[in-house]
């Protein structure tokens, strides 16, 4: 998958959320950089006032690689519901990929949007 195809798939996923009528507003920014890299930033405010904030720093020299990412979901007051990220922690975690929740931090990989597409027939 090329970086252009990847960015298109992210845009498409966000557009589906909007098409279904779940969004109040969407801010989406993408920046393609030299060296086959890209940055994606999105903030999606849902109709209930909750927010999904997406940040990815992508490398695509040898295929799509998420060099850095964070996917945060918070309620209308800004209280964290969950955040998946691969930021370094001290003390160091078992894996870089982990999930924050009100209950703490656990090792976890983020849900895969492509798996969700397979389970819904691409809808």
The Cα 98–Cα 32 span in angstroms is: 26
Structural domain boundaries, residue 17: 3-119
Give the per-residue SS3 of 39-84. EEEEEEEECCCCEEEEEEEEECECECEEEEEEEEEECCCCCEEEEE
- 1 pLDDT band, cuts 50/70/90, is confident
Instruction: Please state the domain count of the chain.
Output: 1
Q: What angle do CA 48, 53, 58 make, to 5 degrees?
A: 150
Q: What is the mean pLDDT of the chain?
A: 88
pTM of the model: 0.83
pLDDT tens track for 70-81: 999 999 999 999
Across the range 64-75, mean pLDDT stands at 94
Across the range 52-62, mean pLDDT stands at 93
**Predicted pLDDT of residue 113:** 54
Q: Which residue has the higher pLDDT, 49 or 91?
A: 49
Tell me what percent of the residues of the chain surpass a pLDDT of 90.
64
Beta strands 98-101 and 51-59 are: unpaired
Q: Order of strands across the sheet with 104-107? A: 23-33, 37-46, 51-59, 65-74, 80-85, 98-101, 104-107
**Predicted pLDDT of residue 112:** 75
């Amino acid at each position: 998958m090329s970086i252009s195809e990847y960015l298109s798939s992210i845009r498409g996923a966000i557009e589906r959320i909007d098409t279904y009528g779940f969004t109040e507003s969407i801010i989406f920014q993408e920046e393609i950089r030299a060296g086959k890299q890209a940055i994606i930033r999105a903030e999606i405010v849902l109709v209930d006032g909750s927010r999904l904030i997406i940040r990815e720093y992508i490398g695509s020299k040898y295929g799509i690689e998420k060099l850095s990412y964070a996917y945060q979901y918070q309620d209308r007051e800004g209280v964290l519901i969950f955040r998946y990220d691969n930021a370094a922690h001290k003390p160091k975690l078992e894996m870089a990929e982990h999930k924050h929740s009100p209950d703490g931090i656990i090792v976890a990989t983020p849900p895969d949007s492509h798996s969700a597409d397979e389970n819904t027939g691409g809808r």
